[in-house]
Amino acid sequence: MKRVFIAIEVKRPETVARIIEMENSLESLGVPLKVVEPENLHITLAFIGEIEDDHVETVKSAIGEISGKPIMAEFVGVGAFPTVSSPRVIWAGVRKGSEEISQLQRKVELLLKTYRIHFEKERNFIPHLTLARVKGKKDLEKLRAFIEKNAEAYFGEEFFEEVKLKESILTPKGPIYRDLFAQKLRG
């Protein structure tokens, strides 16, 4: 069994450096949260979850059919899901490239359905980059003020050239992600 998801990764050094800066600022608030490690920064297009090893090949086949142009995206602003007053996930928003990423996500979902691969359906997919997961209720007012103050923070750009099937190996220190397959975007 493997725990898998489909994603596009954030790797541009200048963008990652600004994200790390923001994550360090978040950690300094004293709010109980877990930031995403720099090597794990990504936008999830579909979370599949636990699948049998032999089903991985089917998922690879589905991803192999993805077509489309590479996407230039711009990360701007800090926000929270489900709300700023009751945050569980702190994220960086996608300004430029948001519609293109949404279209890519819909293609991924359609291919997964075509191949009869079960996945967690996103009700209202909003392209975002998870920065941290909130682990408690302490100092939430401080966190709310921080999010509002950074609502227009600029993180930089990323050029997404491939879609990846990734395995998530859960450990006590957090997940470790391993690439299982990559499909280049061409156009």
Active site residue 118: no
Q: What are 145-183's pLDDT values in tens digits?
A: 999 999 999 999 999 999 999 999 999 988 999 999 999
Cβ contacts of 139 within 8 Å, gap of 6 or more: 29, 30, 31
> Which of 112, 117, 119, 128 is an active site residue?
128
> Which of 2, 4, 42, 66 is an active site residue?
42
Distance CA 6, CA 181 (A): 9
Give the global pTM: 0.95
Q: Can you tell me whether residue 94 is helix, strand or coil? A: strand
Domains and CATH numbers, the chain: 2-184 (3.90.1140.10)
The three state secondary structure string of 19-80 is HHHHHHHHHHCCCCEEECCHHHCEEEEEEEEEECHHHHHHHHHHHHCCCECCEEEEEEEEEE
Q: What are 24-39's pLDDT values in tens digits?
A: 999 999 999 999 999 9
Distance CA 110, CA 65 (A): 11
DSSP H or E stretch at residue 106:
helix 98-114
